[in-house]
Structure 1
Amino acid sequence: MESPIAHVVILPFPAQGHIKPMLILAELLTQLAAFKITFLNNEHNHRRIDKSAASRRRINFISIPDGLPPDHPRTGSSVIDLFFTISTASGPYLKNLIASMSQPPTCIICDGIMSFAIDLAAELGIPAITFRTYSATCTWTYFHLQKLIQNGEIPVLEGNEDMDKQISCIPGLENIMRRRDLPHICRLEPENKVLQFYITQTSKMTKASALILNTFEELESPIISHLKSIFPTIYTIGPLHTALKHNTIDTTNGPYNSFSLIKTDKSGLEWLDSQKPNSVLYVSFGSVISLSREQLMEFWYGLVNSGKLFLWAIRPDLVWDENESGQAPEELKMGTRERGRIVGWVAQEEVLAHNAVGGFLTHSGWNSTLESISFGKPMICWPRIADQQVNSMCVSEMWKVGFDMKEICDRSTVEKLVRDLMEGRAEEIVKSTDEIARLAQGSVRDGGSSNRNIKKLIQDIKLLHSTNGASRRST
């Protein structure tokens, strides 16, 4: 007998920034449509993820192999190793897993860099939807990597190039994007296997029946229109964390599920409670990038010298040369005791939602950028890898919600930008931040653009379920 509910298999790339939005989507599909979800992680993350939330009772977490030895760290720059092992290791296992399921999947929603699943779905006769966890602007940029190579724009060699030269071959970004704004992989030679991996994965995404993006139409409408030349069906359903809060039915675990693979430190929230509104700069460089001791010191001096309050989340592996770290200078310790707080990994949404936080010094990962936008917090951007260069360009040049200090890491610049941001000297940034936050919140409310798209995604999956069921009954 055909099941009355749809069954969706969700396959993220096994990294924090990819798992989080796809797990939030899984939550939404269970809460709004009561779909059955099979959520696949590699064993490393399967052990770390919180599977206890009551609202996840319809989510079945299953581990799959990733081709790396158990002692491989799978964090920081070593995540790249997964690019070249996971499809070979996971593909055959996933095929057998799906074949053994008591209820065949209605569809597979796979990460945009897990495109082997699209080929597998086609082989099994299952519809596949691709979920790119980047912004629409960065996704559009990745579709032009081959063209950038053909035009001689890649590789971008810092020190040997006019980094402010504008890129002219990406429609919609002709008068905005500079060489320095291209993704970090554009610093690689064209034959580099990492660059080629992204070119191949991006191309394979086009075989999917639709594209999901964690963004909202009001933020990236012109670029979304360009993407529709590749994907006639696009579901822009973000900001996902805001959509979940708005649509949460089961509030057992409160409105701010962190969806974190790293244990969170709550002490910073207690400290924020004692601070004045908009007085604290929140600082975090995300779950992947690392800093040298020299970079750490420049940021630390800049923060202390700014005279502003700051809450700095430092994960255990943030500094890559810890064996040379030595003792922090006494002046930094004293300045931090007076005006700052250094904590471990935090529940970022809860921190950004706090009224004491007035700005965000960030690595410009897309989850962090979108969370900051939705909570109305202006940004100082210091991008390093992946999509971060593109995001920081959007923040400063397209949306006017922050400063971009790309490729700069000195204490005087940090000090100046922190003061400018926290003292509200850039009126345009303050105005734009408030307006875009209003649009972000409105997009997920009833009748908003993202709310409509989530409902459309659900209805389309239900249609697939009924169509597939009818097809199976007739064969």
Structure 2
Amino acid sequence: MGNEIKSPELQALQLNRLRALLSQNATKAMTEVRVAFANVLKRSSAIIVNSMEFLELEALSKVKQYFPAPIITIGPLHKLAPAICSSLLTEDDKCISWLNKQAPKSVIYVSFGSIVNFDKQELIEIAWGLSNSKQPFLWVVRPGMVRGSEWIESLPNGFEESVGERGCIVKWAPQKEVLAHAAVGGFWTHSGWNSTIESICEGVPMLCRPFFGDQHLNTSSICNVWKIGLELQNLERGNIERTIKRLMVDMEGNGIRKRAIDLKEKAAFYVMEEGSTSCSLNMLIKHILSV
């Protein structure tokens, strides 16, 4: 596949590396799901994508060569229909009061989505990495997210004392409101697609720690194509501390933040009344009526 890829954007996605990652842990069931999904796409009369064409222009052009159906980008859905994009878990909006007390762009928001799980030692490394970075943080620890723990009882001794009011831990957060808050300057994410799109729309740079599936591809887009984030290679406290500082404090983070703001402005233009998203929606309606 590498010989077929000529565009810089597709090369930056590191597709050969991603193919190796996906095949490394592929179960028979997962392989069957992928094959079934591809076959369904080939039989579809249209493919609707929660994205914006400017984000994935080269990739969409490549995909269109393999699927005869029109591919219609109508994202970001959470901006077009915010009322129907409700959370699966109960949101703790008390964290907004905590954010209101923090300096602009100072807070690293940490959330790994609704599915990811990890072990107690990884929790401990994340905790000390956040503490040692000296950055204010809002950390979502989902009940049951840490294997063998109900919630945060596995946090290391002395952690809460070392952090004090600089940290806020919640079971779930109103993510779209958090990302739009003036105090949030970075998002440590699992790189799920919904989180990625929400972060782009608010101009928040990302610290990426993918776990499985499309999260690896999304991370490549964030870090190598759009260059609005950094990948966290391993969950070791020293590495976590250094990477948070690179994003939030060091000069390197300035360019990342500027590019993130540029994408936010493009996304805002797309959802305007005469923007490309509206045109795509009209195209979708015409296509449905014609089928």
Query: Taking structure 2 as the reference length, what is the TM-score of the superposition?
Result: 0.90
Which stretch of the first structure deviates more once superposed, 421-430 or 213-222? 421-430
Number of corresponding residues: 287
SS in 2 for 1:206: helix
Higher helix share: 2
**In structure 1, which of residues 220, 223, 226 is the aligned counterpart of residue 59 of structure 2?**
223
User: Residues of 2 paired with 1:416 and 1:220: CA distance?
Assistant: 30
Pairing 1:343-354 to 2, within 5 Å after superposition = 343-354=170-181
The aligned counterpart of 1:274 is 101
User: What secondary structure, in the 3-state scheme, does the structure 2 residue paired with 1:290 have?
Assistant: coil
Paired position in structure 2 for 1:58: none
Aligned counterpart, 1:439 = 266
Of residues 27, 40, 43, the one that matches 1:204 is 40
Structure 2 unaligned blocks of 5 or more: none
Whether the aligned pair in 1 keeps the contact of 2:144 and 2:151 (CA below 8 Å) is no
Cα contact 1:216–1:450 (8 A) shared by 2: yes
My pick for the range that moved more, 177-186 or 272-281, is 177-186
Alignment of 1:373-412 (within 5 A): 373-406=200-233, 408-412=234-238
- Per-residue deviation, 1:349: 0.5
Q: Determine if the alignment matches structure 1 residue 425 to structure 2 residue 262.
A: no
1-side partners of 2:15 and 2:59: how far apart?
A: 17
Distance 1:347 1:434 in 2: 21
Query: Which of 232, 243, 264 is the matching residue for 2:80?
Result: 243
- Give the one of 185, 198, 223 matched to 1:371: 198
Q: Please say if 1:333 is aligned against 2:160.
A: yes
1:228 & 1:303 partners in 2: Cα distance?
Answer: 42
C-alpha distance 281-363 of structure 1, shift in aligned 2 (>3 A): same
Structure with larger RCO (C-alpha < 8 A, sep 6+): 2
Q: Is the 8 A contact 2:48 2:73 kept in 1?
A: yes
Does residue 233 (structure 1) correspond to residue 70 (structure 2)? The answer is: yes
Aligned-pair CA distance for 1:355: 0.9
- Cα separation, 2, equivalents of 1:359 and 1:265: 20
2:14 is aligned to: 177
Indicate the structure (1 or 2) with the bigger Cα radius of gyration: 1
TM-score (norm 1): 0.57
**C-alpha spacing 1:258/1:266, structure 2 compared with 1 (3 Å):** farther
The reply to whether residue 188 of structure 1 matches residue 25 of structure 2 is yes
Aligned partner of 1:317 in structure 2 is 144
Does structure 1 conserve the Cα–Cα contact (< 8 Å) formed by 2:123 and 2:154?
no
Structure 2 CA distance for aligned equivalents of residues 227 and 448 of structure 1: 23
Contact 2:200/2:263 (<8 A) preserved: yes
Name structure 1 gaps, 5 residues minimum: 1-147, 149-166, 246-255, 465-475
Q: Indicate the SS of the match to 1:433.
A: helix
Give yes or no for the alignment of 1:307 onto 2:173.
Answer: no
Decide whether the 8 Å contact of 1:268 with 1:343 is kept in 2.
yes
Give the equivalent residue in structure 2 for 1:415. 241
1:257, CA displacement in angstroms?
A: 6.0
Percent of matched pairs sharing the same residue: 34
TM alignment of 1:148-187, pairs within 5 A: 167-168=2-3, 172=7, 173-174=10-11, 176-177=13-14, 179-182=16-19, 184-187=21-24
